[in-house]
Structure 1
Amino acid sequence: MSQIEFFLKQLNEESVTTRKMLSRVPNEKYDWTPHVKSMDVRRLATHIAELPTWITMALTTDELDFENNSYESTFLDTTEQLLELFERSLVDGRSQLTAENESKLNEKWTLRSGDTIHSVSTKGEIIRMALSQIIHHRAQLGVYLRLLNVPIPGSYGPSADEPTFQSAEVEA
């Protein structure tokens, strides 16, 4: 399996769980935050939904300079809008995970703020990081949802909120 095929497989597998988690965000809780230093639900969920586009950025650019590329997050008010954004981002990211781009994976990619270089990685490492960030922030969203008493979907098996898990617990 090529690296591109592996990344596509990972993106497709993780998108199932990510979609389930994003679908649980209550419309009335987009402004909620668990702590003053934490992102609110809107910012966190939007970030998760946009992360697949980093695949395209990694494969079509050589750097991201925060000083010269202002970021404007998509403003969402509903879970329907959130899921639509996620689906568009998936299409965008998948569009670059093609055999022709395999040769680009070892090219260097730089993250900077003007003259300050934060990191230099390969484009393949940036894709791996984007996939890891989806998983990391999805888990963070799971904590938010738990604090809001929203049932959590299973990720790599059932969650404590799913009947399958609860019945297995009773039988044990």
Structure 2
Amino acid sequence: MNIIPMFLKELEQEAQTTRKMLEIVPTDKFKWQPHPKSMTIEDLTVHIVDLPNWLALAVYTDGLNFATEPYNPPTAENTQGLLDLLEQSVAKGKEALQHISEEELLKPWTLSNGDVILQNYNKAEVIRVAFCQLVHHRAQLGVYLRLLNIPIPGSYGPSADELSGEYQREAASIEL
């Protein structure tokens, strides 16, 4: 069984769902957070759009050491900026997946912070973790938007807002 075509399909499906969620993020709420320990919407959405880049990180490197390679997230000024960053990240992830072999997916990959090993994976596992993180944080964004009383789209089926018709009415009135 070839896993790379499945990864490419999953990336496109998750990107499509992520686009729908990001399209409704109001720029004027970028600094909002539901709790002082929570990320702001801006930080959360920037993390979401950056996650497909982890596919390229898995493909082109043997690991990440936070002590020598600190995380510098991209920035977005508005909702359209988030969507643009997502497209760049997805394109980079697709390109990386098209340049790796099935055998290379089994090579080791290490996440560390200095001498402390945080995780030992193979490259395929890093890709799976990136997809899981994308889904997890997108769901977190859905909760944020729900708390702001913003109707949300469905992810793997219709949302309650779509079933009631509220999402379509709200989506039609959103300006980027």
2:16 corresponding residue in structure 1: 16
Provide closer, same or farther for how the CA distance between residues 129 and 117 of structure 1 changes in structure 2, counting only shifts above 3 A.
same
Provide closer, same or farther for how the CA distance between residues 100 and 56 of structure 1 changes in structure 2, counting only shifts above 3 A.
closer
20-29 vs 73-82, which deviates more?
73-82
Q: How does 1:9-158 map to 2 (within 5 A)?
A: 9-98=9-98, 100-158=100-158
Q: Is the 8 A contact 1:4 1:99 kept in 2?
A: no
What is the alpha-carbon distance in structure 2 between the residues aligned to residue 20 and residue 101 of structure 1? 31
Compute the displacement of 1:65 (Å): 0.2
Q: Secondary structure at the match of 1:101?
A: coil
Compute the displacement of 1:97 (Å): 1.2
1:3 corresponding residue in structure 2: 3
Amino acid in the other structure paired with 2:4: I
Q: Give the TM-score taking structure 1 as reference length.
A: 0.93
Provide closer, same or farther for how the CA distance between residues 41 and 60 of structure 1 changes in structure 2, counting only shifts above 3 A.
same
Q: Cα deviations across residues 132-152 of structure 1 (Å, max 9, x unaligned)?
A: 111000000000000111110
Amino acid in the other structure paired with 2:128: R
What is the alpha-carbon distance in structure 1 between the residues aligned to residue 129 and residue 136 of structure 2? 10
Provide closer, same or farther for how the CA distance between residues 54 and 83 of structure 1 changes in structure 2, counting only shifts above 3 A.
same
Paired residues, number? 165
Q: Is the 8 A contact 2:32 2:40 kept in 1?
A: yes
Gaps of 5+ in 2: 166-176
Q: Is the 8 A contact 1:30 1:77 kept in 2?
A: no
User: Identity of counterpart residues, as a percentage?
Assistant: 50
Amino acid in the other structure paired with 2:83: L
1-10 vs 94-103, which deviates more?
94-103
What is the alpha-carbon distance in structure 1 between the residues aligned to residue 14 and residue 37 of structure 2? 27
What is the alpha-carbon distance in structure 2 between the residues aligned to residue 94 and residue 157 of structure 1? 25
Amino acid in the other structure paired with 2:80: E
What is the alpha-carbon distance in structure 1 between the residues aligned to residue 42 and residue 100 of structure 2? 36
Amino acid in the other structure paired with 2:144: Y
2:164 corresponding residue in structure 1: 166
Gaps of 5+ in 1: 168-172
Compute the displacement of 1:101 (Å): 2.6
Amino acid in the other structure paired with 2:33: T
Compute the displacement of 1:100 (Å): 4.1
Q: Give the TM-score taking structure 2 as reference length.
A: 0.91
RMSD over aligned Cα atoms: 1.2
Q: Secondary structure at the match of 2:101?
A: helix
1:170 corresponding residue in structure 2: none
